[in-house]
Structures are given as structure tokens and as C-alpha cells.
Structure 1
Amino acid sequence: MKINENTQISGKKIVLVPYDRCHVLKYHEWMKSEELQALTASEPLSLQQEYEMQQSWRLDEKKCTFIVLDSEVYNSNHHDEISSMVGDVNLFFNEPDFPHSAEIEIMIAEPWARGQGRGKEALCSMMRYGTDKLGIQRFTAKVGLANNTSLRLFEKIGFREISRSEIFQEVTLELPVSEELLKTLILQTPCYSIEDHIK
């Protein structure tokens, strides 16, 4: 999505930057992991396919993607994004009948970065950006039945199950945007700020 190509979102534990060509090699290494493939229901791609996907997502107005950086590593390593990468967070506008609805995904790929609140802050920051800047009125999420960590994370924020598929082994969750949700997102992201992303 072109709208976020020069946008950086900073928080307490995380920094979100647009998914750029320089991130592809490390992202590709992550996605060789069978664990991550299973958790994200992804198929492994060749490096060339990964570069092509990054470029197509950058231009696709129905996909908004940020790389999640660890803020401590980022700030102590002279803003080196590659060494700071821990995951990604995405919005997909894939319901033509509901243009203000978006599916949200979060992945914390680095095992050392999990279980310490980075995923929650990245998710809430992306949701705040989505409501403020993209006009989202409803969020959905699809989570693997076996991915209990992600299910708990989404449920803590307020998502509720609306369907499940035994065939695809996933649960679909939904959360309408309300005044209560907006207050929750502000409380969960006290250090939230948007600035220009300087490459």
C-alpha cells in the first residue's frame, strides 16, 4: 500500500516500518521455518518470489504491511532495521462488500522476542493506525486452531469467534470498532507516535 510507504509508527517496545526490499532476505530466512509456516498457514517461497511479493504488496491498495522492529535493539544499533527485525503486522482489505473492514495478522518470528508484549503492542498500534488513518470500522482475524498464543492475544483485545473451519483448521474472529475499543487501543499504546520513515 502506497499510503504507508513513508510512515513509521513508534511505541514503547516496538517500531513499525514499511516492508521494504532491504527486509526481504531476513524475512525469507524466517519463512524457511516449518513452525512459522504452520502458524501462519504459509507456503515457502523462493527468494525471487519473496522479492516479487514484497514489491506487489507495496503497490497493492488492499494490503498494508509493516515490519516489526524491537525498539531497544533499533535505538541501540544506530537505527539498523535488519538487526532489529522481529516480525510483521499486516492489514488486508479483502471484502469488496465491506470496504471499511480489514483482516489483521501479526507474526513475531524471533523466538527471543515472544511473550514480552511486543506482539500485543504491534497489534494495537496497527489497529490504532487502521482506525485513525485508514477508516477501518471492523477488524477480522484468522488464526490456526492450534495457535493458542495468538488466539489468547486476540481475545484479550476483545476479538470474538464468529466461525471455525475444521477443513482449514482455523478460527475466524471479529471485533467491531467502538468508542470502547478506541479507548483500549490508546491505553495499550501510550507511547504511540507517527513520523516520517527516513530510509
Structure 2
Amino acid sequence: MRLNEFTAVSAAKALLVPYDRRHVLIYHAWMEDPAIQEATASDRLTLEEEYENQESWRASHDKLTFIICQPLSAGGVGGASVRAGEADAPRMMVGDVNLFLYPYEDEDEDEAPSAVPEFCVGEVDIMVADQQHRGKGLGRAVVQAFLQYISRNLGGIMEEYAEDKDMPSPPKLKLLMAKINQGNTKSITLFKSLGFEQEGEVNYFGEVKLVLRRLDKLATEVPEGYAELVYSRDQNQDKLQ
């Protein structure tokens, strides 16, 4: 999405920055790991394909992506901006967090789907690639900050989604969901702790579907140190097309 092109989200345990070209080399290295490919249900890509993906994700109006970085130091939160290439240098990168938007399809409805969907659904996923940062509460802190960002910017998210699909008005977000491998008990526990509830049984792919329908809960718990900052790029740095 273009919405977060110039926005970073800072919290006590993590910094989220928009996925830029400068991040692709490290991201590609993460995705070379077969275990991460399996956990994220991703195909192995060439580096060139990964660069193309980054450009596609930025232009896509139904995918919101942030790169997870280590948190800003106490002295680095004072300003209103984050300098690209410093706080998100390769050594600071930890993983990514995403929102995917889809048209809402009610499986219980017998009527033909409307030409202009009134609702859409969002799927949230998170990857902490660096093992040294796992099991320390980082994942929960990141998802909590990401949900807070979605809550505060929901209007803009829906407007961009609608604009791409030539909708006369933005749809409403019906629910959020997460699809997690049944063996990933830590991630399941993480999402449940944030109000998501399991819906149905384990699917054919061995995944558990967790759903958050009470979207008013998104903004009820503001993460410690939460702030939306300007993501500042110098003129000589790579810019998005």
C-alpha cells in the first residue's frame, strides 16, 4: 500500500518501517531458509523476483507491509521522524508483519454476491526471522502495534482498497483473521491473547483459523511508547516509483 510509504511505527519493543528496496537483500536471505518458506507457505524466489515483489507490494492496494526492526533507543524517540537506512539498517532488521485484504464472502449466504461488496476481511500474519528475537514477547508487541496502526488508519486503508477496485464507496472491514499452522502453538496463543478466537477445525493444510470480529477491541490497548513517525528518505537514497 502507498498509505504507509512515509510512515514508521515506533513502540517500546519494536520499530516498524515500510518495506523499501534497501531491505530486499536481507529479506531474500531470510526467505532462503526452508523452515521460513514452510512456515509462511512461500515459494523460493530469485533475488530479482524478490525485488519485483517488493515493488509489487508497495503498489498493491490490498497488501499493507511493514519490516520489523529492533526498537529505537530511548534517545531516538524524541523526534517526529525516523531516518531511513539508520534505524532500519540490516543489523536492525528482525522480520515483517502484513495485512492482506479480501472481499468478504459469507458462506452461509444463498444469494448471489453483490457487484459492489459491502464488506472485506483482513488477514494478519507476522514473521520473526531472527531466532534470537523469538520467545521474548516481540511477536505480541508487534502485532499489538500493527493492530493499533490499522485501527487508527482504517479509513485510509479502506479508501485505498476501494480506489483500486473502482468502488463508489469504501467497504467496511468485517473481521480480521490469522491462519496459523496447528503446530505453532506460540503464535496461536499470541493471537488468542489479543482477542482472536478459533473458528472451525484444522483445515486441509493443517492450519488453524483465528478470527477477531469485535474490531472495537483493536484500539483498546495502546502499546507502550506507541508513536507514528515520518519515515524520512534522503534525496540520494532509493525512492519508490
- Normalising by structure 2, we get a TM-score of 0.75
Structure 1 stretch displaced more, 16-25 or 146-155: 146-155
Q: Percent identity?
A: 36
Q: Superposition RMSD on alpha carbons, in Å?
A: 2.1
Quick one: which of 108, 127, 134 aligns to 1:107?
Answer: 127
Quick one: which of 97, 122, 125 aligns to 1:89?
Answer: 97
List per-residue Cα deviations over 1:157-176 (Å, max 9, x = no partner). 11111134442111111012
Inter-CA distance 27–81: structure 2 relative to 1 (3 Å threshold): same
Alignment size in residue pairs: 195
Alignment match, 2:225: 191
List per-residue Cα deviations over 1:71-105 (Å, max 9, x = no partner). 15896x95242210001000011225464531100
For 1:109, the aligned partner's letter is: A
The 2-side partners of 1:176 and 1:62 are apart by: 19
Structure 1 residue 176 corresponds to structure 2 residue 213: yes
Alignment match, 1:65: 65
Alignment match, 1:154: 191
Q: Indicate the SS of the match to 1:43.
A: coil
- Give the gaps of 5 or more residues in structure 2: 77-84, 105-116, 156-172, 234-241
- Give the gaps of 5 or more residues in structure 1: none
For 2:92, the aligned partner's letter is: S
The 1-side partners of 2:70 and 2:55 are apart by: 24
User: Cα offset for 1:138?
Assistant: 2.2
Inter-CA distance 53–99: structure 2 relative to 1 (3 Å threshold): farther
The 2-side partners of 1:5 and 1:167 are apart by: 36
- Normalising by structure 1, we get a TM-score of 0.90
User: Cα offset for 1:42?
Assistant: 1.4
Matches within 5 A, 1:140-151: 140-151=177-188
Inter-CA distance 98–15: structure 2 relative to 1 (3 Å threshold): farther
Inter-CA distance 162–80: structure 2 relative to 1 (3 Å threshold): closer
Alignment match, 2:21: 21
